[in-house]
Chains A and B, each alone.
Chain A
Amino acid sequence: MITAASEREAHSGPGSDAEPRAVAIADGVHWVGALDPTLRRFDLILRTANGTTYNAYAVRGEQGVAVIDTVKAEFAAVFFARLEQVARYDEIRVIVLNHLEPDHSGALPELMRRAPQAKLVISKRAPAMLKALLKADDQEIRYDTVDTGDEIDLGGRRLKFLHTPYLHWPDTQCTYLAEQQILFSGDVFGCHHCDPRLFNDRVGDFRFAFDYYYAHIMRPFKTYVLDALRLIEPLPLKLIAPTHGPILRERPRRYVARYRELSGADAALEPVPADAPPHFTLLVFYLSAYGSTARMAEAIAAGAESVPGIRVSLYDLEGGEVEPFVDLIEPADAIALGSPTLNGDAAKPIWDLLSSLAVVNLRGKVGAAFGSYGWSGEAVPMIEDRLRGLKLRVPVAGLRLKLIPTDDELADCHAFGRALAEAVTGSGAQAGPTTRPVIEYANLT
């Protein structure tokens, strides 16, 4: 519940680094985090036009205080200054880390030194990470692990835990303060947007930052987001307190709904005809300097199209931007990449595309590589290795041919496309269980 007193305190804001102030977000619950307004790139991969915040919270019960998450190590001083305004270290009974990434665990070792009686509480997937994070620190840290359904009673205030792995590390969890209906959500529902007004109804427009954060941090884990939403959606929610960005107190449920929208089926137009039976999809991307790899691509696409139940699309990588191609690949069943070999390597747009796929889940998709070459032809095996590295399955050995394709070689391309489509759809003689001839180990390449 947000009291009039806490409202007044909220108006006073978090203060400055020189004079940091804790901010009440509900009765007995304070924000004790840190502002990082000048940050422009987070974790190498995320840009931010407004810096970020490292949100940490203190919850006071009748029998002690819980600290929920900490801050990046270099912001420890302001975190401790804010924390000291709302609690003594000997009152801290519990430290909950919803996520162990260093921007939230950075001040943990020092907090444990200052509050040695406090019990650290982490998710059941977190111990191995905790050990790796603290291995350079001599301190022995005792911890308890929790799972969905576990709770800690602080006296009149109960912390309930939700196991929400892979949002966005294996260790992530959420903590729910039942009496006040506050969800401490970790990175879920967070964003990189620093505004000292702190609350979503006071800060500037952060919708872009919210969606951008989802797209880069949560998108690869959509199925886990949906699992987490099944735990979160039934909870009464007055406020969501994430570890980055604005505190969501005005209509918090709309951010939950937004996560469901973003994690749902592909929001793009369905391929036409919409009422057709389910299709497998194969996307063929190619680059071609003199037209040879393009002709291979066309023959492969035609071969694949000859298999029923698969929809094949052909794209010249030269003609498009990477991001829409990434959006296309996300729901596709298979991709084939064609590149000539230039100075012993595939052409750069192939690597640009492949290095942009970390934001989508590729596991189990089928991949394939092909290309024309002049004398050495390294591009095809290099692309295949990368596809395997990205957790695609590469069931059909890559196809390469020297310079200009002959009619026979184009027929090979057609057969390659057909074999690829059969591997995707599970049709054809090759794909049936136990129908393939046994291979001798010595003949594996």
Chain B
Amino acid sequence: MAKAKLTFEDIGQTVNVPAGVRVIDISEKVGAGIVYGCREGDCGTCMMHVTAGWNNLTEPSVLEEKVLRENMASRHDRLACQAQVIGDCSVKPA
């Protein structure tokens, strides 16, 4: 199975993950600072900033794009409960 390095910059923690996992599945287990609300892509609480490897996350869905817009996301912000890791990337709380 393809592997990827997912790094949480706020706590300096890297995890080797199988491609396809969502950031939410990892971040709480390692104590990263991204926090969650609805966990289903609606509330925008888990907005994170992708500092490296922007293209190594799955494309945002139309709904995620909408929530990001409503929450005034800046460039390279994503929802941690939606984004799936497909290659090396680094994230931190937005």
**Contact, CB under 8 Å: A391 / B37:** yes
A-B contact pairs, 30 of them (CB 8 A): A125-B70, A128-B70, A364-B35, A388-B28, A388-B35, A388-B36, A391-B36, A391-B45, A392-B35, A393-B32, A393-B33, A393-B35, A394-B28, A394-B31, A395-B31, A396-B31, A397-B31, A431-B11, A431-B12, A433-B9, A433-B12, A434-B14, A436-B13, A438-B14, A439-B16, A440-B16, A441-B16, A441-B18, A441-B26, A444-B15
CB-CB < 8 A to B36: which residues of A?
388, 391
> Could you count the A-B residue pairs with CB atoms below 8 Å apart for me: how many are there?
62
User: Which of A170, A388, A436 has a CB less than 8 Å from the CB of B11?
Assistant: A436
Shortest Cβ distance from A368 into B: residue:
B31
User: Which of B12, B21, B33 has a CB less than 8 Å from the CB of A436?
Assistant: B12
| Cα distance, A364 to B45, chains bound together (Å) | 12
Residue B93 interfacial (CB < 8 Å): yes
Number of interface residues of A (CB under 8 A): 26
Number of interface residues of B (CB under 8 A): 25
| Cα distance, A136 to B28, chains bound together (Å) | 37
Main secondary structure of the interface of A (DSSP, over half): loop
CB-CB < 8 A to A392: which residues of B?
35
Residue A432 interfacial (CB < 8 Å): yes
| Cα distance, A438 to B7, chains bound together (Å) | 9
**Contact, CB under 8 Å: B35 / A395:** no
Which residues in B have some Cβ–Cβ distance to A below 8 Å? 5, 7, 9, 11-18, 21, 26, 28-33, 35-37, 45, 70, 93
| Cα distance, A440 to B37, chains bound together (Å) | 26
| Cα distance, A128 to B9, chains bound together (Å) | 33
**Contact, CB under 8 Å: B15 / A441:** yes
**Contact, CB under 8 Å: A439 / B30:** yes
Which residues in A have some Cβ–Cβ distance to B below 8 Å? 125, 128, 170, 363-364, 388, 391-397, 423, 431-436, 438-441, 444-445
| Cα distance, A434 to B5, chains bound together (Å) | 12
**Contact, CB under 8 Å: B35 / A439:** no
**Contact, CB under 8 Å: A438 / B11:** no
- Which 6 A-B pairs have CB atoms at the shortest separation, nearest pair first? A395-B31, A433-B12, A391-B35, A444-B29, A438-B14, A441-B17
| Cα distance, A38 to B84, chains bound together (Å) | 52
User: Which of A363, A388, A397, A444 has a CB less than 8 Å from the CB of B26?
Assistant: A444
| Cα distance, A124 to B33, chains bound together (Å) | 28
